[in-house]
């Protein structure tokens, strides 16, 4: 990334992996207000599926089964989206 | 590659490219790395030749939380080229994630990414760059290993037979694992060698997932959590099993996953892991040994442990044989498992089919506090889903079709058309092998070319396979002969994903294989990824007219491509003009700015010094900005008003935070350019002008447009300091433009803040500007602010925008 001023390179350019010398990692910016872990602000939006699919069997009068798949609300839906967004004013 | 940015000049002066630090990896040889808390190693790399079809990147470590990011062709940002100090590093986790085309970011220090020639950003000969971050407060040691291969591996679908759970209020939601070890003696059946009921059950499920794995050829393992529960039933009807993927997600500016072929679109976690070449927690983060993350399982299937009891379906049992069930009074366990797990793999349309959840046909959005997606009262969204994006509505004459999810506004959803298509088929003919359904108007948007009896032929849309569409999805017996759910099933007789199972059900995926391939499961070589290419100019959001983004190309670097300055001219909380600046590169079609402030801010404000005639950045604004120009039309931000005639779109995500890092305001705006480059006048006077290094801290952009017989139009945004040194702005617009003629500077008497309801423009004159374009370009400016004016007379100009 094209940043402001050049400092000394922090990693040895083209260092050979074959040397097996452990590389020392370099500092990372910490989020303001969360001064302990740089990863703390990572927030995906993962939610539970709203639907499950269920195989249903119906016993017919002749003793045979008719089997079909139906869609139902997911009773295991427990994951609310992690991020919370304040809605913008409606126009 | 670096740019030196004397921000004191407000406008940039370009530096010369320089090499970035990099570490070569030897194929298959681990590189050891010591990570202190919150540290990273950038740009380890592996060179891949044309014979490679798969690249596997592994991190194996202890302590800390090391994550890995991968990208092709151009490097990650590098600490060697920024203002890193011990207290103000210049790279954040967020920035690295945005550069990454693939990532694995679980909460452990063991990560894996598999990229193949079929991936969305396919494995291509050349250099692949790797960055690893320990984002935790604990130290870690880890090795990084990159291994190219000329073959693509096939992973298993694994089954988690453990992790039982109980639900005190609803036992049907239990996960009972005891039936997997039921010791009741059983006679081997249909080549299933199990001699106990438990073994037969486990064998049958393992056989089912083996059949799927062999047909999917996924290089990424998929884990299925297998449960039993007392789901009950009556003498005439019962649930045999149910399944679902354990979560859904989408890629947007808040959490980019560039490996998904469609941005701003729902995918199941199975698809996300498959396309990302990683695990559940690799894709989303978290601890895949925890219940919160479903123990890393991507699909959960529950079988009814009441099946086979006398009171349910007359005691009709499951059939556990490997060979197809020829009996008409038992339930084929393997076919049922394959069908239901395939739903969990992504054979799932999210359009609403439940009238109690919202309008039928509605797309899935988010409502704060809800435990799943919602179909009304959205706080965010809604979004398309990838299944629905492959579906079309066929006209009643059968001759033409429209997308199931077309370009439509959030406020004007085309739910009615979707509902009509989803209830378009009700003709059922009973045959000796099952029910045959007439073609519906709800179809998959490609002829899939499988060899099924009765498969549609001809030209599209006649050749498109129909999807199940009962006449009334809420009354399943009214128009069809039995139960079945709309949208997420085929009507092809004998197909695995037919809404109804037939006697002697085949254990092949049938239509599901090519349909899933269109949704991330393809094993065919993929074309090179293509990304949007924005261009210099003034961009604005129709829904926030009056604010804008002056997006100026100022350089091109070998390693990082086009470099832009972005001026966000806007209004503060009181409606007064204010502006911010960012500088960065367009990476894979996304404008990713450099970090300027120690707080990680990328939107900076300047303070002008009238004596020194320069401005210095007020770096800790807490502001950030990202603009994604890829597939922006899919985003909710671009669907709040009609933009169907826009030249190009981008989603500009901006935010500001307080000194504690708490976000105080944010927004996703849909920006588009005022004009195309082709509309520019010739000669083109457009550019980004300022007074040179001895007179900086102010400047103006010029958009020079050929309006044909209406003459040349010059549109300019002037950036200048007020009495307190705060940067503000005004607009000049002249058509036809006359060189040397004085143009009024215009401001709004009262603008509206970024999160306020837009108000009508109330333009007032704020001074004048006189532009003289010639051998030497000059400007004369009288720009007013409360209590005074910023003035320049015949000042020579430097144009940065032509570099």
Q: What's the ipTM?
A: 0.89
Closest CA to B386 of B278, B275, B486: B275
Does the beta-carbon distance from B90 to A3 stay under 8 Å?
yes
Q: Across-strand partners of B741?
A: none
Distance between CA atoms of residues B262 and B586, nearest Å: 19
Which chain A residues are within 8 Å of B583, Cβ to Cβ? 2
pLDDT at A90 over 90: no
Helix, coil or strand: residue B435: strand
What is the token pair recorded at B657? 């935070």
Which chain B residues are within 8 Å of A82, Cβ to Cβ? none
Closest CA to B90 of B594, B566, B580, B557: B594
- The minimum CA-CA distance between A66 and chain B, rounded to whole Å, is 7
Distance between CA atoms of residues B309 and B130, nearest Å: 56
Does the beta-carbon distance from A53 to B4 stay under 8 Å?
no
Which chain A residues are within 8 Å of B43, Cβ to Cβ? 11
- Inform me whether the C-beta atom of residue A82 falls under 8 Å from chain B C-beta atoms: no
Distance between CA atoms of residues B248 and B370, nearest Å: 14
Does the beta-carbon distance from A39 to B105 stay under 8 Å?
yes
Q: Across-strand partners of B265?
A: B384
Closest CA to B486 of A49, A77, A72: A72
Burial class of residue B291, CB neighbours in 10 A (0-12, 13-18, 19+): exposed
- The minimum CA-CA distance between B447 and chain A, rounded to whole Å, is 24
- The minimum CA-CA distance between B199 and chain A, rounded to whole Å, is 22
User: Would you tell me which residues 16-35 of chain A have a C-beta closer than 8 angstroms to some C-beta of chain B?
Assistant: 16-18, 20-34
Does the beta-carbon distance from B82 to A1 stay under 8 Å?
yes
Q: Please name the member of A18, A22, A49 whose beta carbon is closest to the beta carbon of B33.
A: A22
Q: Please name the member of A28, A65, A81 whose beta carbon is closest to the beta carbon of B328.
A: A65
Helix, coil or strand: residue B467: strand
Among chain B residues, the shortest Cα distance to A38 is held by B135
Could you give the C-alpha distances from B623 to A7, B580, B587, B661, in angstroms and in order? Answer: 25, 9, 20, 10
Q: pLDDT tens for residues A12-28?
A: 223 333 446 788 888 88
**Which candidate in B57, B278, B324, B371 is best for mutational testing of the A interface (most A CBs within 10 A)?**
B371
Which chain A residues are within 8 Å of B64, Cβ to Cβ? none
What is the token pair recorded at B361? 């046909």
Does the beta-carbon distance from B242 to A5 stay under 8 Å?
no
Distance between CA atoms of residues B569 and B513, nearest Å: 50
Radius of gyration of chain B (CA): 30
Mean pLDDT for back-to-back runs of 10 residues, chain B (803 residues): 36 42 92 94 95 98 97 86 58 92 96 98 97 95 98 96 94 96 97 98 98 96 97 96 95 95 96 96 92 92 97 95 85 95 97 90 91 92 96 92 90 86 74 65 87 79 90 58 74 85 78 95 96 94 94 85 91 92 94 85 90 85 94 94 94 93 92 93 92 92 94 95 94 95 93 92 93 95 95 94 58
Does the beta-carbon distance from B484 to A6 stay under 8 Å?
no
Does the beta-carbon distance from A4 to B370 stay under 8 Å?
no
Among chain B residues, the shortest Cα distance to A17 is held by B25
Among chain B residues, the shortest Cα distance to A72 is held by B354
**CATH label, B7-149, candidates 1.20.1260.10, 3.40.50.720, 2.60.120.380, 1.10.10.10:** 2.60.120.380
The domain locations on chain B are 7-149, 155-246+297-346, 349-522, 537-674, 679-799
- The minimum CA-CA distance between B782 and chain A, rounded to whole Å, is 32
The helices-and-strands tally (H runs, E runs) of chain B is: 7, 43
Q: pLDDT tens for residues B569-624?
A: 999 999 999 999 999 999 999 999 988 877 888 998 889 999 999 988 876 788 99
- The minimum CA-CA distance between A81 and chain B, rounded to whole Å, is 7
- Inform me whether the C-beta atom of residue A44 falls under 8 Å from chain B C-beta atoms: yes
pLDDT of residue B412: 72
Handedness of CA B276, B336, B208, B285 (dihedral sign): positive
Among chain A residues, the shortest Cα distance to B21 is held by A13
Which chain A residues are within 8 Å of B487, Cβ to Cβ? 71
Contact B622, B657 (CB under 8 A): yes
Does the beta-carbon distance from B41 to A11 stay under 8 Å?
yes
Which chain B residues are within 8 Å of A64, Cβ to Cβ? 328-329
pLDDT of residue B17: 39
Does the beta-carbon distance from B38 to A68 stay under 8 Å?
no
Does the beta-carbon distance from B371 to A8 stay under 8 Å?
no
Q: pLDDT tens for residues B245-282?
A: 999 999 999 999 999 999 999 999 999 999 999 999 99
The domain locations on chain A are 47-74
Classify residue B398 as left (phi > 0), alpha (psi -120 to 50) or beta: left
- The minimum CA-CA distance between A39 and chain B, rounded to whole Å, is 5
Angle at B526 (CA atoms; ends B563, B67), nearest 5 degrees: 60
- The secondary structure of B194-237 as a DSSP string is -SBHHHHHHHHHHHHHHHHHHHH--SS-EEEEEEEE-----SSE
Q: Across-strand partners of B391?
A: B444
Contact B706, B675 (CB under 8 A): no
Angle at B553 (CA atoms; ends B76, B782), nearest 5 degrees: 135
Which chain B residues are within 8 Å of A19, Cβ to Cβ? none
**Which candidate in B483, B585, B666, B758 is best for mutational testing of the A interface (most A CBs within 10 A)?**
B483
Distance between CA atoms of residues B176 and B732, nearest Å: 72
- Inform me whether the C-beta atom of residue A61 falls under 8 Å from chain B C-beta atoms: no
Q: B775: which residues sit within 8 A by CB, 6+ positions away?
A: none
């Amino acid at each position: 990334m094209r940043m402001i001023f050049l400092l000394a390179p922090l990693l040895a350019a083209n260092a050979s992996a074959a040397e097996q010398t452990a590389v020392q990692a370099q500092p990372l910016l910490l989020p303001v207000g969360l001064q302990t872990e740089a990863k703390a602000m990572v927030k995906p939006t993962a939610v539970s599926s709203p639907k499950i699919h269920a195989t249903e069997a119906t016993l017919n009068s002749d003793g045979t089964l008719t089997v079909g798949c139906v869609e139902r609300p997911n009773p295991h839906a427990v994951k609310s989206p992690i991020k919370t967004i304040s809605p913008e004013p409606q126009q | 590659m670096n740019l030196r940015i004397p921000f004191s000049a407000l406008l940039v002066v370009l530096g010369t490219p320089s090499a970035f630090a990099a570490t070569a990896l030897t194929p298959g040889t681990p590189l050891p790395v010591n990570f202190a808390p919150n540290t990273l190693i950038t740009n380890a790399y592996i060179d891949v030749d044309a014979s490679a079809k798969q690249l596997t990147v592994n991190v194996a470590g202890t302590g800390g939380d090391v994550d890995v990011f991968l990208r092709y062709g151009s490097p990650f940002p590098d600490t060697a080229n920024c203002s890193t100090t011990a207290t103000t590093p210049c790279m954040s986790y967020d920035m690295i994630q945005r550069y990454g085309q693939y990532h694995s970011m679980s909460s452990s220090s063991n990560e894996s990414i598999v990229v193949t020639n079929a991936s969305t950003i396919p494995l291509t000969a050349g250099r692949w760059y790797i960055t690893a971050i320990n984002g935790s407060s604990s130290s870690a040691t880890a090795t990084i290993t990159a291994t190219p291969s000329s073959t693509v591996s096939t992973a298993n679908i694994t089954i988690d037979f453990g992790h039982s759970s109980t639900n005190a209020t609803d036992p049907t939601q239990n996960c009972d694992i005891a039936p997997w070890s039921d010791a009741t003696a059983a006679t081997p059946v249909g080549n299933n060698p199990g001699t106990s009921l438990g073994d037969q059950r486990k064998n049958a499920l393992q056989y089912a997932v083996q059949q799927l794995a062999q047909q999917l050829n996924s290089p990424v393992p998929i884990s299925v959590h297998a449960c039993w529960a007392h789901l009950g039933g009556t003498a005439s009807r019962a649930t045999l099993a149910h399944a679902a993927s354990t979560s859904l997600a989408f890629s947007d500016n808040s959490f980019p996953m560039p490996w998904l072929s469609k941005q701003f679109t729902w995918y199941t976690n199975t698809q996300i892991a498959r396309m990302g070449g990683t695990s559940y927690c690799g894709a989303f983060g978290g601890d895949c040994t925890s219940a919160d993350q479903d123990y890393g399982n991507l699909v959960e299937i529950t079988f009814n442990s009441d099946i086979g009891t006398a009171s349910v379906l007359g005691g009709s049992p499951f059939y556990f044989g490997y060979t197809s069930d020829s009996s008409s009074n038992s339930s084929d366990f393997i076919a049922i498992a394959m069908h239901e797990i395939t739903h969990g793999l992504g054979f799932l349309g999210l359009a609403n089919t439940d009238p109690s959840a919202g309008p039928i046909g509605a797309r899935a959005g988010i409502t704060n506090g809800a435990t799943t997606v919602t179909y009304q009262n959205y706080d965010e969204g809604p979004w398309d889903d990838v299944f629905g994006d492959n579906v079309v509505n066929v006209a009643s004459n059968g001759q033409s079709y429209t997308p199931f999810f077309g370009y439509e506004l959030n406020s004007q959803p085309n739910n009615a058309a979707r509902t009509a298509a989803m209830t378009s088929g009700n003709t059922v003919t009973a045959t000796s092998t099952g029910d045959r359904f007439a073609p519906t108007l709800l179809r998959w948007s490609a002829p899939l070319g499988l060899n099924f009896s009765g498969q549609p032929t001809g030209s599209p849309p006649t050749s498109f396979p129909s999807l199940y569409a009962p006449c009334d999805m809420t009354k399943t017996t009214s128009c069809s002969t039995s139960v079945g759910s709309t949208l997420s099933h085929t009507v092809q007789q004998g197909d695995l994903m037919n809404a109804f199972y037939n006697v002697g059900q085949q254990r092949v995926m049938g239509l599901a294989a090519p349909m899933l391939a269109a949704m991330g499961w393809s094993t065919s070589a993929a074309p090179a990824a293509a990304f949007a290419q924005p261009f210099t100019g003034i961009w604005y959001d129709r829904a926030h007219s009056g604010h804008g983004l002056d997006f100026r190309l100022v350089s091109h670097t070998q390693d990082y491509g086009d470099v832009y300055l972005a001026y966000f001219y806007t209004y503060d909380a009181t409606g007064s003009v204010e502006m911010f600046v960012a500088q960065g590169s367009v990476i894979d079609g996304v404008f990713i700015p450099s970090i300027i402030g120690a707080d990680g801010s990328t939107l900076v404000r300047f303070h002008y010094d009238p004596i020194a005639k320069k401005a210095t950045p007020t770096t800790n604004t807490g502001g950030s900005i990202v603009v994604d120009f890829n597939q922006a039309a899919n985003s909710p931000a671009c669907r709040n008003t009609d933009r169907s005639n826009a030249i190009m779109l981008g989603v500009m995500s901006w935010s500001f935070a307080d000194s504690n890092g708490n976000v105080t305001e944010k927004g996703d705006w849909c920006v588009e350019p005022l004009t195309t480059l082709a509309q520019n006048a010739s000669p083109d006077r457009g550019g980004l002008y300022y007074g040179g290094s001895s007179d900086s801290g102010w400047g103006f952009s010029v958009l020079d447009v050929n309006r044909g017989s209406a003459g040349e139009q010059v549109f300019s945004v002037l950036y200048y300091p007020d009495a307190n040194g705060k940067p503000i702005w005004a607009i000049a617009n002249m058509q036809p433009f006359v060189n040397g003629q004085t143009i009024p500077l215009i401001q709004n008497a009262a603008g509206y803040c970024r999160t306020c309801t837009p108000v009508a423009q109330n333009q007032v004159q704020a001074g004048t500007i006189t532009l003289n374009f010639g051998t030497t370009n000059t400007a004369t400016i009288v720009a007013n602010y409360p209590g005074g004016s910023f003035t320049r007379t015949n000042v020579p100009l430097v144009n940065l925008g032509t570099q």
